[in-house]
Chain A
Amino acid sequence: QSALTQPASVSGSPGQSITISCTGTSSDVGGYNYVSWYQRHPGKAPKVMIYEVSNRPSGVSDRFSGSKSGNTASLTISGLQAEDEADYYCSSYTGSSTWVFGGGTKLTVL
């Protein structure tokens, strides 16, 4: 149950696009299409932004998109806005009714 690997930080200017990667193994990210992404503002509960690799829950902006290639999943945020500044975490189902999270990525909007 090793944590998924995310960059510690990414940054971008308003209006730009950024991508956050999430690297696992064939036992988690690569083996299942149950990758989710969560946004966490300080002091707030996490909010699911993407589920099943690329699906957006109702109410989540279409500026957020997800994809996967092999053992690496990615979250792309286009048209960056100040309100997007937050911590982002990926998560994957790993089979045998267990889950794993990434270490988190701090997004700074310059």
Chain B
Amino acid sequence: QVQLVESGGGVVQPGRSLRLSCAASGFSFSTYGMHWVRQAPGKGLEWVAFIWYDGGNKYFADSVKGRFTISRDNSKNTLFLQMNSLRAEDTAVYYCARGSYYEGPFDYWGQGTLVTVSS
């Protein structure tokens, strides 16, 4: 069965960096686009980033553009989110999600990893 398991969350000071990982199994990882979605405390879901199946193209929400990068290692079935220059407003649970096909929907989600940006 499809499984997505995020890791790498934690408490980090403003301005610092953090790298999240998402280990995928149960499907042909290299043939699907992948997303990161986050949910801040008491807020709704927010789409963060998308990467093509082959890593050839990457797209970001305006709120993270220039600070976050998305990448993948298809040989290890793993998705990454490199978060730099973190701000308090980046505090959220971060989910990786599979794109069923290019325009959506997000058909499988992980359980999420919590990132807290605080001094």
Binds A, one of B7-15, B16-24, B84-92, B100-108: B100-108
Q: Specify which of A47, A89, A98 is in contact with B61 (CB 8 Å cutoff).
A: A98
Contacts of A97 in B (CB 8 A): 50, 57, 59, 102
CB atoms of B59 and A51 under 8 A apart: no
Contacts of A100 in B (CB 8 A): 47
Further pairs besides A1-B63, A45-B111: 16, Cβ < 8 Å: A34-B103, A36-B105, A36-B106, A45-B110, A45-B112, A46-B97, A46-B109, A48-B106, A51-B100, A51-B105, A97-B59, A99-B35, A99-B47, A101-B37, A101-B45, A102-B44
Contacts of A32 in B (CB 8 A): 103
B95 at the interface (CB under 8 A from A): yes
Contacts of B112 in A (CB 8 A): 45
Interface string of A53-65 (1 = CB under 8 A from B): 0000100000000
Contacts of A89 in B (CB 8 A): 44-45
CB atoms of A99 and B44 under 8 A apart: no
Q: Specify which of B43, B105, B110 is in contact with A48 (CB 8 Å cutoff).
A: B105
CA separation between A47 and B109, bound complex, in Å? 8
CB atoms of B47 and A101 under 8 A apart: yes
Number of residues on chain B facing chain A (CB within 8 A): 26
Contacts of B47 in A (CB 8 A): 91, 98-101
CB atoms of A1 and B61 under 8 A apart: yes
CA separation between A103 and B46, bound complex, in Å? 9
Residue of A nearest to B52 (CB): A97
Q: Considering the complex, which residues of chain A in the window 25-47 have a beta carbon less than 8 Å from any beta carbon of chain B?
A: 32, 34, 36, 38, 45-47
13 example contacts (A-B, Cβ-Cβ < 8 A) are as follows A1-B61, A1-B62, A3-B44, A36-B105, A38-B45, A45-B110, A51-B105, A98-B47, A98-B50, A99-B35, A99-B47, A100-B47, A101-B37
